[in-house]
Amino acid sequence: MELTLKSARRSVDEIPAPLVVLGVWGGELSEEGQKLDGKYRKALTRFIQELHFKGDFGETLLVPLASRREEAGPGFALLFGLGKKRGASLETVRKAGAKLVQEISRLGFKEAVAETFLADKFGKKEASYALAEGALLGGYEWNKYKTSNSGSRRGEKLRLWLARSSGPAVDRAEVVAEAVNYARDLVNEPPNVLTPVELARRAGEMAQELGLGVEIWDEDQIQKAGMGAFYGVARGSANPPRFIQLTYKPQNPAERVIAMVGKGLTFDTGGYSLKPSEGQITMKCDMAGAAAVLGAMRAIARLKPPVEVRAYVAAAENMISGAAYRVSDVLTSLSGKTIEVLNTDAEGRLTLIDAITHADRQGADAIVELSTLTGACVVALGEKIAGLFANDSRWARQVQEAAERAGEKVWPLPMEEEYLESLKSSTADLKNTHGRSRYAGAITAALFLGEFTDKPLVHLDIAGPAYTEKSHALGPVGGTGFGVRTLIELVEK
Ligand code: BES
Ligand code: ZN
Ligand code: ZN
């Protein structure tokens, strides 16, 4: 839907709209709600009691309001269940924002006003931010390839007023949510459309629009630069690779340079270590790390934090052909280290190490890297939580705290040095997987990356949360935009 948020200082009953959304906590109308209810002879309270409306989270009740006032009041109230107030968090507000726009749109309203839930508990700014962000994420739809006769309700407009909200907080939520939804779009694009060349074109277009520095290398430049690991993966595809670099420079020269690296496999078939068909179903999401990094750059260009940020994406497709790399091939990475390929499906790490080496050499003070790297991480932490690996506890803490503030779930896993043994090769310096053992797959992947920089490095394995085959509290099936909010928080603090 096309959602427009309007921040207002006024209270719900001072904003004319056909629908007013009021919170219900533990079966009781919110304070704002009660004030309004007074004007309707407690009609709302009576509905709640007579219908035994408990107001579990997300439960709603639509009540017609016969306006007895002189001026035209709202025709309806939507009572929105928020569960118990005790223990409610900003995440409750964010989820409520998402759910309520979906509900309002389902009911067919084009305009509504909602109260800013929990402003009393968390302050107007935080509560407004969470509600607005939730609404904008929850209003996301992916229907680009649905034709009008497939019955989809596309592009419906909704104007939502947030009563007693903070304007700057709503503005910020708009920038952040737009960046997340941009990343979702990139992930959701089919791989025949979003090739490495197209991903680079979009990054370039965005850089132009937002005044970011941009440099894009084609396959010849990638080869000439010596990115043999990245190129080794890319060469099997008829769609050539691109190396994408974006730079944000603050007005005053920055003390710190943060590098963000995103895995950019626009499709991962597994190569000759071919994935079974079922494993390929979601593999257009294998550029979700790149999408997160590009999405974050979008918001960073607008929010203008005082640090320099550089984004790097090695974009390629992992395919099969006469030119594709094989098991047992030896690749020479940009760092000079040689790698024996034991599994062509462990391609992400090969593309990432060249991007990491390059970021390091270009003067990054700290590197944060996001990738849909291993199925093993999904086995360990499930679909909601990203694995966090770090070679530096301070940098790890900063990323972890940023994720917490952003409302994205990450959990630390160890980079256990003893497991490095399993990546030693008898032929080359390293091999890209253990080969036979499937133990600690997420950890060995992280250790492999860690061999290519001594700078503070955080690796987020987002294979679980990057993509969802079920709709969730903050959005539909498909790319989730996971990581964008964390990266923005990280850079801003
Ligand atoms: N892109 C996949 C990882 C992945 C799996 C992402 C599921 C999202 C959902 C990655 O390139 C891969 O195939 N990894 C292998 C590594 C193995 C060969 C060591 C894996 O996880 O099986
Ligand atoms: Zn793979
Ligand atoms: Zn992959």
- Output the average pLDDT for the chain: 96
Amino acid 152: pLDDT:
62
Question: 288: closest CA among 185, 208, 204, 195?
Answer: 185
Record the tokens describing residue 383, joined without a space. Answer: 């679909």
Record the tokens describing residue 468, joined without a space. Answer: 């969802």
Question: 486: closest CA among 374, 411, 377, 379?
Answer: 411
Record the tokens describing residue 398, joined without a space. Answer: 């900063």
> Which residue among 39, 121, 201, 275 is the active-site one?
275
Q: Is the pTM of this model over 0.95?
A: yes
The dihedrals phi and psi of 305, each to the nearest 5 degrees, come to -70, 160
CA of 440 to the centre of ligand 2 (A): 16
> Residue 405: enclosing H or E segment and its boundaries?
helix 393-406
Q: Residue 151 — very low, low, confident or very high, per pLDDT cuts 50/70/90?
A: low
The average pLDDT across 444-449 equals 98
Q: Rounded CA gap, 417 and 440, in Å?
A: 12
Q: Is the pLDDT at 154 greater than 80, yes or no?
A: no
Q: Which ligand is nearest to the CA of 265?
A: 3
CA of 396 to the centre of ligand 3 (A): 24
> With the C-alpha atoms ordered 366, 372, 377, 382, is the resulting torsion angle positive or negative?
positive
CA of 177 to the centre of ligand 1 (A): 28
The dihedrals phi and psi of 321, each to the nearest 5 degrees, come to -170, 180
Q: Which ligand is nearest to the CA of 269?
A: 2
Closest ligand 1 atom, residue 434 Cα: 19
Amino acid 300: pLDDT:
98
CB 98 within 8 A of CB 4: no
Task: Tell me how crowded residue 133 is: count the other CB atoms within 10 A of its CB.
Answer: 28
Closest ligand 1 atom, residue 441 Cα: 19
> Which residue among 202, 349, 431, 485 is the active-site one?
349
Q: Which ligand is nearest to the CA of 279?
A: 1
- Which residue type does 21 have? V
Cα end-to-end distance, the chain, whole Å: 32
Neighbouring C-alpha atoms within 13 Å toward the C-beta of 383 = 10
Q: What is the pLDDT of residues 170-184, one digit of tens each?
A: 999 999 999 999 999
Q: What is the pLDDT of residues 404-426, one digit of tens each?
A: 999 999 999 999 999 999 999 99
Is 54 an active-site residue?
A: no
Q: What is the pLDDT of residues 6-40, one digit of tens each?
A: 999 999 999 999 999 999 999 999 999 999 999 99
The average pLDDT across 188-198 equals 98
Closest ligand 1 atom, residue 263 Cα: 1
Q: What is the pLDDT of residues 360-418, one digit of tens each?
A: 999 999 999 999 999 999 999 999 999 999 999 999 999 999 999 999 999 999 999 99
For ligand 1, pick from 347, 373, 422, 449 the residue to mutate: most ligand atoms within 8 Å of CB: 373
Burial of 488 (0-12, 13-18, 19+ CB in 10 A): buried
Pairing mode, strands 19-25 and 430-431: unpaired
Amino acid 436: pLDDT:
87
Amino acid 74: pLDDT:
83
Longest dimension (CA), the chain: 87
Q: Rounded CA gap, 180 and 133, in Å?
A: 10
For the chain, give the percent of residues with pLDDT over 90.
94
Question: 389: closest CA among 461, 297, 306?
Answer: 461
Q: Is the pLDDT at 149 greater than 90, yes or no?
A: no
Closest ligand 1 atom, residue 377 Cα: 21
Amino acid 73: pLDDT:
74
Question: 292: closest CA among 147, 198, 209, 185?
Answer: 185
Q: Is the pLDDT at 114 greater than 70, yes or no?
A: yes
The average pLDDT across 271-279 equals 98
Q: Which ligand is nearest to the CA of 463?
A: 1
Q: What is the pLDDT of residues 235-262, one digit of tens each?
A: 999 999 999 999 999 999 988 999 999 9
Record the tokens describing residue 307, joined without a space. Answer: 């640090």
Amino acid 72: pLDDT:
64
Query: CA dist 136 to 5, 80, 119, 484, Å?
Result: 8, 18, 19, 14
Q: Rounded CA gap, 88 and 474, in Å?
A: 17
What 3-state DSSP class applies to 189?
coil
CB 37 within 8 A of CB 43: yes
Q: Rounded CA gap, 290 and 296, in Å?
A: 10
Amino acid 66: pLDDT:
65
Question: 323: closest CA among 441, 186, 223, 472?
Answer: 223
The residues whose Cβ lies within 5 A of ligand 3, an ion, are: 265, 268, 286, 348
Q: What is the pLDDT of residues 41-89, one digit of tens each?
A: 999 999 999 999 999 999 999 999 865 555 567 899 999 999 999 999 9
Nearest residue (by CA) to ligand 1, atom 8, is 463
For ligand 1, pick from 339, 345, 383, 462 the residue to mutate: most ligand atoms within 8 Å of CB: 345
Is 384 an active-site residue?
A: no
Q: Is the pLDDT at 480 greater than 70, yes or no?
A: yes
Closest ligand 1 atom, residue 265 Cα: 1
For ligand 1, pick from 317, 342, 374 the residue to mutate: most ligand atoms within 8 Å of CB: 374
The dihedrals phi and psi of 245, each to the nearest 5 degrees, come to -130, 125
> With the C-alpha atoms ordered 339, 342, 345, 374, is the resulting torsion angle positive or negative?
negative
Q: Rounded CA gap, 62 and 69, in Å?
A: 20
Amino acid 435: pLDDT:
85
> With the C-alpha atoms ordered 307, 459, 199, 471, is the resulting torsion angle positive or negative?
negative
* Category of 105 on φ-ψ map: left (φ > 0), alpha (ψ -120 to 50) or beta: alpha
The average pLDDT across 186-193 equals 98
Q: Rounded CA gap, 96 and 213, in Å?
A: 38
CA of 348 to the centre of ligand 1 (A): 8
Closest ligand 1 atom, residue 374 Cα: 21
CB 144 within 8 A of CB 482: no
Pocket of ligand 1 (CB under 6 A): 268, 286, 343, 345-348, 372-376, 378, 433, 441, 463
Return the ∠ at Cα 9 (arms to 30 and 168), rounded to 5°. Answer: 110
Nearest residue (by CA) to ligand 1, atom 5, is 375
CB 311 within 8 A of CB 245: yes
